């Protein structure tokens, strides 16, 4: 107990409550998303590639919505109100999805109407989550002591508290994800999709009630409304911004006291101090959108190099799950492991190993690096990216083994699609992705949160989630391109053949490993020249 208290010291009661609420939200979302590809192929009767592209596109849209909502939450609304409003849309989408699943099974309605209801429910969930998640996390960070929000002689202490917050926030949502992946996939596969989608909806409604009941404990920080500009001023501002962009002068100011106060940390790049002075000063002549552009542009190189890492994380709920459906899943004579449940190995790895990061890893790296922080945020992200490459190499080798056994069965005239290979052969790739999560995802949250001004903190969280949003779209695009090139000789030649005995997912995994390696090398080279100090 003393060790647990030491690990969570600095996290007050409102933060702990919000971590629990965030965990329930992840339970609800993962309860839907983790097994959605199975629902689309088995119930809606979509092809493997179509189902994977739909899931990727939906996840991508879900992660991109925060980029639209965050500026509003930061500047025109307060975060508490944004959480409340977004939660209503989120809950409506979950309820509609559960109703759709029940209707598909119990009420014979037209296929077009069913498909429309399915799409409406999924994208309502996306819209709701787009406002809910970044606002809830930024609202949680607002609950830190005021002393942690401004630079002082205790900067290192404040940074430690912020790192602790993001680490335990991620730990909480991983606990919720674990329950959503393992419990809900079993219920959906055995007790039905209606109940399997109804439980997440009910759980999320309960979390909204808990959030509202905790209102008296929260600190509320109102967003500072920016001045409304006339059309003429906005046009002039856009012209000025474009001119600066094309002249290559957008950069972070190193000497501005205002920027130093707002950023709390040293900026990302070591650049010309004669660059744009007072970048984040509250100028009367500068439009709010221009300020956001100036904030985002210097972060785009890092954001871009993280995209392939995000693509890797679209594989567990799609093709990893389809692999598992063709492998031996029996435990005993009656129980059969739901393929989507194996995604819980990622979250179990995180839950078991996350506490060890502070207890063992950081003290060890302090000895090796002679740095009080152990490793920087950038180094943390880089380690996770490297581990994701290894995970894809292992995934490719495992899939090659599965295909060899499958072809041997075809040669022996065995018609079963299930190969004599245990689903637990997939565990190493899942576990490695979980470990890479601890490094890269937590590092990304702290990086994007710390590199933006105080009043744009929701936008910082949105930038982090948008990496996975664009990564989802990029994953769908890659599937389309690969399918186009590999099926030119006929559908049966596609790497994503619906008959898993003739698919070539191993080749696809090798492609992802190569692309992820290129991103990792680019990441390392980039930060050899531009060092972040967080």
Summarised one tens digit per residue, pLDDT across range 350-364 is 888 887 887 888 888
Q: What is the DSSP string of 417-467?
A: S-EEEEGGGGHHHHHHHHHHHHHHHHHHHHHHHHTS-GGGHHHHHHHHHHH
The DSSP bridge partners found for residue 328 are 422
> What per-residue confidence (pLDDT) applies to 512?
94
Residue 207: pLDDT band (50, 70, 90) is very high
Q: What is d(CA 524, CA 379) in angstroms, rounded to the nearest whole number? A: 9
Which of 90-99, 212-221, 319-328, 332-341 shows the lowest mean pLDDT across its residues?
A: 332-341
Q: What is the pLDDT of residue 263?
A: 37
Q: Out of 203-207, 210-214, 223-227, 473-477, pick the least confident.
A: 223-227
Do the strands 327-328 and 419-422 form a parallel or antiparallel pair, or are they unpaired?
parallel
Q: If residue 327 lies in a helix (H) or strand (E), which one and from where to where?
A: strand 327-328
pLDDT value for 298: 82
The SS3 call for residue 489 is coil
% of residues, the chain, pLDDT over 70: 75
- Distance CA(456)–CA(282), nearest Å, equals 13
Give the separation between CA 100 and CA 124, rounded to whole angstroms.
13
Residues 361/367, Cβ–Cβ less than 8 Å: no
| Report for 6-15, 226-235, 273-282, 321-330: range of highest mean pLDDT | 321-330
pLDDT of residue 516: 94
DSSP element (H, E) containing 330: strand 330-331
In this model, does residue 387 exceed pLDDT 90?
A: yes
Q: How confident is the model at residue 214 (pLDDT cuts 50, 70, 90)?
A: confident
Does the pLDDT of residue 138 top 70, yes or no?
yes
Is 130 a residue whose pLDDT tops 50?
Answer: yes
Query: Of 324, 316, 322, whose CA–CA distance to 421 is shortest?
Result: 324
What is the per-residue pLDDT across 101-129, written as a single tens digit (0 to 9) for each? 877 555 454 555 667 788 889 989 989 98
Q: Which fold has domain 11-144+165-220?
A: Growth Hormone; Chain: A; (1.20.1250)
What spatial distance separates the first Cα and last Cα of the chain, rounded to whole Å?
A: 31
- What pLDDT was estimated at residue 3? 47
pLDDT at 461: 79
Does 377 have pLDDT greater than 60? yes
Helices (H), ranges, 191-214: 193-213
Per-residue pLDDT, 90 = 94
Helix axes 155-190, 111-142, angle to 10 degrees: 160
Instruction: Say yes or no to pLDDT of 22 above 90.
Output: yes
Pairwise CA distance, residues 518 & 285, whole Å: 42
Residue 145: the pLDDT is 58
Residue 144 predicted with pLDDT over 80 = no
Examine the pLDDT at 517 and tell me if it is beyond 90: yes
What is the rounded distance in angstroms from the CA atom of residue 164 to the CA atom of residue 145?
Answer: 13
Helix (H) or strand (E) holding 242: helix 231-246
Helix, strand or coil for residue 101?
helix
pLDDT higher at 267 or 120: 120
Average pLDDT over residues 425-449: 88
Quickly name the fold that domain 286-533 has. Growth Hormone; Chain: A; (1.20.1250)
Condensed to tens digits (0 to 9), the pLDDT of residues 161-181 reads 777 788 888 888 888 888 888
Check residues 281 and 359 and name the one with the higher pLDDT.
359
The reply to whether 11-144+165-220 and 286-533 are identical in fold is yes
Q: At residue 261, does pLDDT exceed 80?
A: no
Q: Name the residue ranges covered by the structural domains of the chain.
A: 11-144+165-220, 286-533
The Cα 180–Cα 348 span in angstroms is: 12
Q: What is the pLDDT of residue 388?
A: 94
């Amino acid at each position: 107990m003393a060790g647990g208290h030491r690990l969570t010291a600095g996290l007050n009661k409102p933060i702990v409550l919000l971590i629990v609420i965030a965990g329930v939200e992840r339970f609800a979302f993962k309860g839907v998303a983790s097994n959605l590809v199975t629902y689309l192929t088995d119930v809606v009767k979509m092809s493997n590639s179509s189902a994977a592209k739909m899931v990727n596109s939906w996840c991508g849209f879900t992660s991109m919505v925060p980029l639209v909502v965050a500026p509003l939450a930061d500047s025109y609304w307060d975060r508490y109100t944004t959480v409340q409003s977004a939660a209503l849309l989120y809950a409506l989408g979950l309820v509609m999805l559960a109703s759709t699943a029940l209707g598909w099974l119990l009420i014979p309605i037209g296929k077009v109407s069913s498909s429309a209801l399915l799409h409406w429910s999924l994208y309502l969930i996306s819209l709701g989550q787009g406002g809910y998640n970044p606002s809830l996390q930024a609202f949680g960070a607002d609950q830190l002591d005021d002393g942690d929000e401004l630079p002082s002689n205790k900067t290192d202490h404040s940074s430690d508290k912020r790192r602790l917050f993001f680490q335990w926030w991620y730990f909480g949502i991983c606990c919720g994800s674990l329950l959503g992946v393992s419990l809900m996939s079993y219920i959906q596969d055995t007790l039905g999709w209606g109940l399997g989608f109804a439980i997440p909806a009910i759980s999320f409604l309960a979390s909204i009630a808990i959030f509202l009941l905790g209102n008296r404990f929260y600190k509320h920080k109102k967003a500072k409304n920016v001045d409304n500009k006339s059309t003429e001023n906005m046009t002039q501002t856009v012209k000025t911004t474009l001119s600066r962009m094309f002249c290559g002068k957008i950069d972070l100011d190193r000497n501005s006291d205002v920027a130093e106060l707002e950023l709390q940390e040293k900026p990302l790049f070591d650049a010309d101090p004669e660059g744009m002075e007072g970048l984040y000063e509250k100028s009367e002549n500068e439009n709010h959108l221009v300020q956001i552009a100036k904030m985002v542009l210097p972060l785009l190189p890092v954001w871009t190099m993280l995209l392939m890492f995000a693509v890797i994380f679209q594989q567990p709920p799609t093709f990893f799950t389809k692999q598992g459906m063709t492998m031996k899943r029996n435990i005993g004579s009656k129980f059969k492991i739901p393929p989507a449940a194996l995604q819980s190995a990622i979250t179990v790895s995180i839950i078991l190993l996350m506490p060890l990061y502070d207890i063992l890893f950081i003290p060890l790296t302090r000895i090796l690096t002679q740095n009080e922080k152990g490793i920087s945020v950038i180094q943390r992200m880089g380690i996770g990216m490297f581990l994701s490459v290894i995970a894809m190499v292992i995934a490719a080798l495992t899939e090659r083994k599965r295909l060899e056994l499958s072809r041997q069965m075809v040669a022996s005239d065995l018609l079963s699609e299930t190969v004599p290979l245990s689903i637990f052969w997939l565990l190493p790739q899942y576990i490695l992705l979980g470990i890479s999560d601890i490094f890269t995802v937590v590092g990304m949250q702290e990086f994007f949160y710390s590199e933006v001004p105080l009043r744009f903190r929701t936008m910082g969280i949105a930038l982090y989630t948008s990496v996975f949003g664009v990564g989802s779209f990029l994953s769908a695009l890659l599937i389309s391109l690969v399918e186009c090139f590999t099926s030119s000789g006929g559908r049966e030649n596609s790497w994503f053949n619906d008959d898993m005995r003739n698919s070539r997912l191993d080749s696809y995994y090798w492609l992802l490993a190569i692309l992820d390696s290129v991103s990792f090398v680019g990441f390392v080279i980039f930060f050899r020249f531009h060092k972040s100090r967080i």
